[in-house]
Amino acid sequence: MTRPIQATISLSAIRDNYAAAKRAAPKSRVLAIVKANGYGHGVERVQSAVPGADGFGLVEHNLFVRCNGENELISNKSSSNTWRYNTILDSPGTQLTIRHGNDCLVYGNYLKGTDGIRIFGDRHQVFSNYLENNTIGINIGNGDGEVADGAPLTSHDRPDDVVIAFNTLVTNITHYVMSGRTNGLGATNITFANNILLGWGAAASIRGPYPGAVWSGNILWNTQRAGDMPSTGYTKENPLLVADENGVYHLQPGSPAIDSAVGDFPAVTFDQDGQPRTSPLDKGADEVSAEPVSSRILTPDDFYRFLQTP
């Protein structure tokens, strides 16, 4: 016989408790752990109460091939996570989505044949990514709420203070996009700097409020048009990118991208090859370096070799 017991979980109380812990340790990051599927109440419902919680997750060196599904192929839903050196190939309609949370690092990822990287939330650093032949390279979210001001946790938090820099974007239909949204809040104080955009369609398409934008030091070459990128935000010059044996573009000697980055980007410490960044930095995802290569685009052959490794 089923006993008439009912448990009521207050998501706002979970959120308030987390906020109290944060206030008690203002200089610390605070991890939230949902134990045992929220004791059966559903991990997704419970964790969504604290999307600002620091996760400290590290997701690296994964290969996704011919995935099918929704655009949140990968859906980040907490803060302070690192997504690096993952490869996503031939997966139309999918995105690496930073859906909830703040302060994430997204770098050194290779995306080809996808819908690119999509970003909501605040203070993320998106750099040294290599994005080729996607419908969209990088998709900055058009917010429909501001979580820091108390908007519902189901909202798409307006991106604020996000840095998108030192990425290489090659023949994406549109390299950088904010999609339209009815009454959208757009994104604020976004820095788009020192990226290389090569070939195909518009460099940038911004369809919402975008106050406080910084556009600087980007290189455009053979794009159909700059679109919504202001002329002060880029130069048009051949970055001298040449495909290596894996089909990935790297800078050649004499490239105007070498040592020409503008601005200060302390978070940008590695390039697409896992090589350290050395000042003065090179524009785009590749730093020209003699240091060992520790990362590259992955293929299914890498997976089969891994399976055969004793």
Residues at the contact surface with Ca ion, assessed by CB under 5 A: 122, 157-158, 160, 271, 273, 275, 286-287, 289
The two tokens of residue 12 are 């706002």
**Distance in Å, CB of 148 to Ca ion, minimum:** 5
**Distance in Å, CB of 245 to Ca ion, minimum:** 14
**Distance in Å, CB of 275 to Ca ion, minimum:** 5
Nearer to Ca ion, 54 or 286 (CB): 286
**Distance in Å, CB of 147 to Ca ion, minimum:** 6
**Distance in Å, CB of 64 to Ca ion, minimum:** 23
Nearer to Ca ion, 100 or 158 (CB): 158
Nearer to Ca ion, 103 or 160 (CB): 160
Nearer to Ca ion, 144 or 160 (CB): 160
**Distance in Å, CB of 252 to Ca ion, minimum:** 12
Half-sphere CA count of 284, side-chain side, radius 13 A: 30
Nearer to Ca ion, 103 or 157 (CB): 157
Length, in residues, of the chain: 310
**Distance in Å, CB of 144 to Ca ion, minimum:** 11
Nearer to Ca ion, 102 or 223 (CB): 102
What is the DSSP code string of the chain?
----------HHHHHHHHHHHHHHSTTS--B----HHHHTT-HHHHHTT-TTSB---EEES-EEES--S-SEEEEEESBS-EEES-EEES-TT-EEEEEE-SS-EEES-EEESS--EEE-SBS-EEES-EEES-SEEEEE--BSB-GGGT--TTS-BPPBS-EEES-EEES-SEEEEE---TT--B-BS-EEES-EEESSSEEEEE-S--TT-EEESEEEES-SEEETS-GGGEEE----EEE-TTS-EEEPTT-TTTT---S--TT--B-TTSPBP-SSPPSSSPPP--SPP------HHHHHHHHH--
Pick the closest to residue 174 from 128, 119, 228, 218 (CA basis): 228
| Closest residue to Ca ion in the complex (CB) | 273
**Distance in Å, CB of 37 to Ca ion, minimum:** 29
**What is the C-alpha separation between 299 and 75, in angstroms, rounded?**
22
Nearer to Ca ion, 135 or 155 (CB): 155
Nearer to Ca ion, 32 or 258 (CB): 258
